Amino acid sequence: GAVVSQHPSWVICKSGTSVKIECRSLDFQATTMFWYRQFPKQSLMLMATSNEGSKATYEQGVEKDKFLINHASLTLSTLTVTSAHPEDSSFYICSASPLAGTQYFGPGTRLLVL
Amino acid sequence: DAKTTQPPSMDCAEGRAANLPCNHSTISGNEYVYWYRQIHSQGPQYIIHGLKNNETNEMASLIITEDRKSSTLILPHATLRDTAVYYCIVAPTGNQFYFGTGTSLTVIP
């Protein structure tokens, strides 16, 4: 149980394009989903928290207009990196939390912007 | 910001117990202690969590000191597949996680 998937697992795109990453909780309903970013040899950095049906809460320094988050259902959240640039290249990881429960992480999406 | 301090790296002989410490001296009464591990290029894997009592599951044991200011994750019989970065996180249940730098555990044959 407690499986979280992400799609795609890796993506390469040209600078200036937008990329959408999906995060799904497969066997539970996720009241809250979280998005993290991880650069090489660094720890995970929380980007934003999203609750189903409401606007995401972004961490300080994360541009909400650049990283669009939608949490339209209790099993799906999406992160769209708009107008991606090479500095946005990173490992993006989502997690999902059932009501008052712990977080279960997806396998991550590796983004490379050329 | 992360509220935990962990040693940056540790080695453990295969088959022996791995004891990973974590300091969280500013933990609040409603904050749990969570442990996750991350194997290279994968998402973090949940290991165990607890509030104040010691906990054990099929993966590990969690020992929390009485004052809750520190804890130890115990992997009873380490295998090569336990080589990973281990993260200790304190947070209220359902709340945001702020990761520290973790401990890179290397299990040596």
Q: What is the pLDDT of residues A3-30, one digit of tens each?
A: 999 999 999 999 999 999 999 999 999 9
Buried b (16+ CB within 10 A) or exposed e, B60-93: bbbbbeeebebbbbbbeebeeebbbbbbbbbbeb
8 Å CB contact of B41 and A108: yes
8 Å CB contact of A4 and B43: yes
pLDDT at A1: 67
E strand residue ranges, B1-109 = 9-13, 18-23, 31-38, 45-50, 55-56, 61-64, 70-75, 84-92, 103-108
The most distant pair of C-alpha atoms in chain B lies apart, rounded to whole Å, by 40
**Min Cα–Cα distance to chain A from B37, Å:** 11
Q: What is the pLDDT of residues A30-65, one digit of tens each?
A: 989 999 999 999 999 999 999 888 889 999 999 999
Q: What is the pLDDT of residues B36-45, one digit of tens each?
A: 999 988 999 9
- Residues in chain A with CB shorter than 8 Å from the CB of B86 are none
Q: Decide: A63 and A56 in contact? Cβ < 8 Å.
A: no
What CA–CA distance (Å, rounded) separates A66 from A15?
A: 13
What CA–CA distance (Å, rounded) separates B100 from A52?
A: 27
Residue whose C-alpha is closest to residue A23's, from A100, A85, A97, A87: A97
